[in-house]
Amino acid sequence: MGPRRLKETDLHIHTVGCYHPGQLLDMARDCYRRINWNRFGFLDRYEGIFGVRLDPVGIFERAVDTGSLDELREVSVYEYRPGGSFEEFNITSYFSNAVVGYYLDREEHEPILAPIVRRHRQEGLTYVEYRNAFATHGEEFRHWHGRFARYLRDASSDGFTARYIIRLDGRAPLESYQEVRQLMSEHPDLVETIVGVDFSGKEIAPRQLLPLYEQLRADRQRCPGNFVEAVVHIGEDFFDLSLESAIRWCHESALYGATRLAHCIALGMEPRVAIARRRERAHQGETVRERRDQIEYDLQHADDLAAYGVQVDADALEREQRDLETREEDTWVRWPYDGSRLQDVVRRQDYVLDDLARLGTVIETCPTSNLCIGGVPGIEHHPFGRLYASEANLAICTDDPGIFDTTLSDEVDRVCEWFQVSPEDLAARVGDPFAYRLAATRTMSTGDSGCHGSSCRGDGLLEGTLQR
């Protein structure tokens, strides 16, 4: 496989993060005065984080009058800074959310999706898995996701294939998943397009998703023609966890059944760099609940950890576990780092990366995104280097190409430049990302949903708003 193939398949793109400044100008040129710019509290939250009250109407007026995108780019693109954070990135993304929301309110999906597909075709992409989120419920949930999936189905032609991943509600994952199953049961023509479910935004403890993973596994066995697979954002924003627990979350997600893991900064960042990042007490402790889960994990994996040089004192951990049983689960356990413990964290990363390779789990690495929002102090500390040196399966992706003002081709070229890797060596190491696409092993013919009964559908409840 040549390097060109790396620039044709993007497995991790959020639709609401696709809009580059010029696209936003085109989308809002005739309606920017009618947009609810404080949708989702955007203006208030932006001011609270950056200390500036935006005037989007004025920004668009000047862009329309002058043709300059500079001011629009300043507020809609999130650029690298050593102290970058997920919170800053996330609120920046709500600028495009407000524009998208205008069309959602009018039940217009084509103005939302057409510019995305058109641009990706022009960039030379041939296969894309788009992620989308509507925190609604019931019929509305199925209606909107059905319309988006159908548009992407119809857009798949002439060497371009679009697939759809639906974000589930982390507060009610099983109920949310049943909405997806019902959508696929009611609309067999969308089965080929809907390939996965996703969790993004605030990371979710894998133990909370275990029932969902079990249901996904059962449905795959029962309905081999229309199963979906799980991808999950994990190890990206984990300041409220110890480094050990952040690594564990990545590992448990794979063990429980996630096919691909997004980001996994926790597996690639140097521990000494991670604990020195911007937040006070970063990783220096965690809740009693997480500490107890970590003890259970260490006891369960003691032999494997020992093979990597991490010695697990079972007696001490069991005593600590008994002591923690008397404490409230949400209280804080302080656990500072020393040199020895930091070395053990490196060994834990090695263990989990090797086990991901054994399991065949894929890490979706998003170089610019991880640099910008991971609190990475410089390119030399970028987690990609460690991931690349491992044997874990990797796919290079863009995440939110509009918000980071990047393309898949840019991402591949940056990896080669930043890490002094030749395109040929990168292609040999990463392989063909198309091989990691979801639902590739469905057994029935195109368009046959395979399973139409009540066992593959259900009623769920989602609440909230459009999100990343």
Domain positions in the chain are 3-279+361-456
Cβ neighbors of 295 (< 8 A, separation 6 or more) are 317, 318, 320, 321, 324
In CATH, what class is 3-279+361-456?
A: alpha beta
Record the pTM: 0.93
Return per-residue pLDDT of the chain as tens, 468 residues.
Answer: 567 889 999 999 999 999 999 999 999 999 999 999 999 899 999 999 999 999 999 999 999 999 999 999 999 999 998 878 899 999 999 999 999 999 999 999 999 999 999 999 999 999 999 999 876 788 999 999 999 999 999 999 999 999 999 999 988 999 999 999 999 999 999 999 999 999 988 899 999 999 999 999 999 999 999 999 999 999 999 989 999 999 999 999 999 999 999 999 999 999 999 998 866 667 888 999 999 999 999 999 999 999 999 999 999 999 999 999 999 999 999 888 999 999 999 999 999 999 999 999 999 999 999 999 988 888 999 999 999 999 999 999 999 999 999 999 999 999 999 999 999 999 999 999 999 999 999 975 444 444 644 445 433 322 333 445
CA–CA distances in Å: residue 238 to residues 145, 167, 340: 30, 20, 22
Q: How far apart are CA 394 and CA 403, in angstroms?
A: 23
- Whether the CB-CB separation of 23 and 118 falls below 8 Å is answered with no
Q: How far apart are CA 342 and CA 347, in angstroms?
A: 9
Residue with the two structure tokens 């005593």: 319
DSSP-derived 3-state class of residue 419: coil
CA–CA distances in Å: residue 142 to residues 47, 179, 189, 232: 34, 7, 14, 21
The H or E element that residue 382 is part of is none
